[in-house]
Amino acid sequence: MSVKPERVILEQTAAAGTLRDTAVSHIGLRVPEVQATADFYGRVLGLVVQRELADGGLQMGWGTGHHVLDLLPGERSLAYYAFEVRDAGGMAGIRSRLEQAGAPVTEVDPALLDASIGDVESIETTDPDGNTVQFHSAVWRQGEGAGDPGRRPVKYQHITLGTVDVAPMTDWFTGVIGFRISDQLEDGRFAWMRSNKDHHTLAIVNVGARGNVDHYSFDLAEWEDFKSWCDKLTEQDVDVAWGPGRHGPGNNLFVFFDDPAGNHIELSAEMEKFYDDRVTYVARRWNPIPQSVNLWGGQLPNWRRVSGVQS
């Protein structure tokens, strides 16, 4: 930390905050071994296969809930990620701002979507890093989280994308899509964005490479469940990779472990809420030190080798 880190204030333009009822809905990951990875998600997370895709992929979700994870054959990479837009006029606004920005907009096959509330609308575009991102209208979500108690059920919560340059991504998500920045690292290498009352539904981190998720996260109900989960993971021969701890940005409790393809999975609880309809906020700027991403202490997971947060 002897070299003074650069200070970068990530800007937000007019559209920022347009979306207030939008949440991550599913993610598509390419993994080398689809079946073994699906077995892991069934055994450890309680997900079930809801649909087999044409190319050998599998759509997984909880019981009667919407699907949250698509596993597709291929080298480990991010195939696409998707948001459910529940804001009134939200889909139309995104579509219009994307067209204004000259971004490619194509329709997604409605057959791949969960049961819709009202008319189905689902579009696909490309984020500044070239990742495929989808936006779709409201789906029936009841049943999500109806997993096994004991192995206390969870909600699909957020995605953190790895990139080589954070600002173009946050510019696009705030200026074109309508997210808002909640927190950033002072050096501009990590940013957390919100699109509903949760502190973040999407985060962007500079990991020195594009095209992968840094990690993604499920919600637990409470701290008590972290013990149950760590004990269950041990029973299933899955090592905890980081935590339990508490993040600075978002103030949420966390614990991390890996899937067989090497994707980092986070379990989280107690995330800070934002009430944009009642309050005027300014994004906070955190020191790029380990204690910012774990308030309780300075240990980092061994996989965070390239990051704005280093010890």
Residue in 230, 260, 303, 306 binding a copy of itself, rule: CB under 8 A: 230
241 near a copy of itself, rule: CB under 8 A: yes
User: Minimum distance between the CB of residue 105 and a copy of itself, rounded to whole angstroms?
Assistant: 27
Which segment (71-79, 88-96, 166-174, 269-277) binds a copy of itself by CB under 8 A?
Answer: 269-277
55 near a copy of itself, rule: CB under 8 A: no
How many residues touch a copy of itself under the rule CB under 8 A: the total is 70
- Please say which residue, 124 or 272, places its beta carbon nearer to a copy of itself: 272
Give the x-and-dash track for 114-153 against a copy of itself (CB under 8 A).
---x----------------------x-xxxxxxxxxxxx
The DSSP code for 34 is: H
**Residue 233, token pair as written in the block:** 């993971």
- Please say which residue, 132 or 228, places its beta carbon nearer to a copy of itself: 228
* List of residues 6+ apart from 279 with CB closer than 8 A: none
Question: Among 204, 228, 226, which residue's Cα sits nearest to residue 215?
Answer: 204
Buried b (16+ CB within 10 A) or exposed e, 120-137: bbbbbbebbbebbbbbbb
* List of residues 6+ apart from 106 with CB closer than 8 A: 123, 124, 125
User: Minimum distance between the CB of residue 130 and a copy of itself, rounded to whole angstroms?
Assistant: 32
197 near a copy of itself, rule: CB under 8 A: yes
Q: Which of residues 177-196 bind a copy of itself (CB under 8 A)?
A: 186, 196
Give the x-and-dash track for 61-80 against a copy of itself (CB under 8 A).
--xx----------------
Q: Measured on CA atoms in the order 173, 175, 178, 179, is the torsion positive or negative? A: positive
266 near a copy of itself, rule: CB under 8 A: no
CB atoms within 10 A of CB 27: 20
Residue in 56, 104, 110, 297 binding a copy of itself, rule: CB under 8 A: 297
281 near a copy of itself, rule: CB under 8 A: yes
Distances (CA, A) of 66 to 46, 51, 112, 223: 14, 11, 11, 26
Place of tokens 């999500």: 144
Query: Nearest 5 degrees, angle CA 17-CA 18-CA 23?
Result: 85
- Measured in degrees and rounded to the nearest 5, phi and psi for residue 292 equal -75, -40
Give contact residues for a copy of itself (rule: CB under 8 A): 39, 42, 46-48, 63-64, 117, 140, 142-155, 186, 196-197, 219, 221, 223-224, 227-228, 230-231, 233-235, 237, 239-242, 244-246, 248, 251, 253, 257, 272-273, 275, 277-282, 284-287, 289, 291-292, 295-299
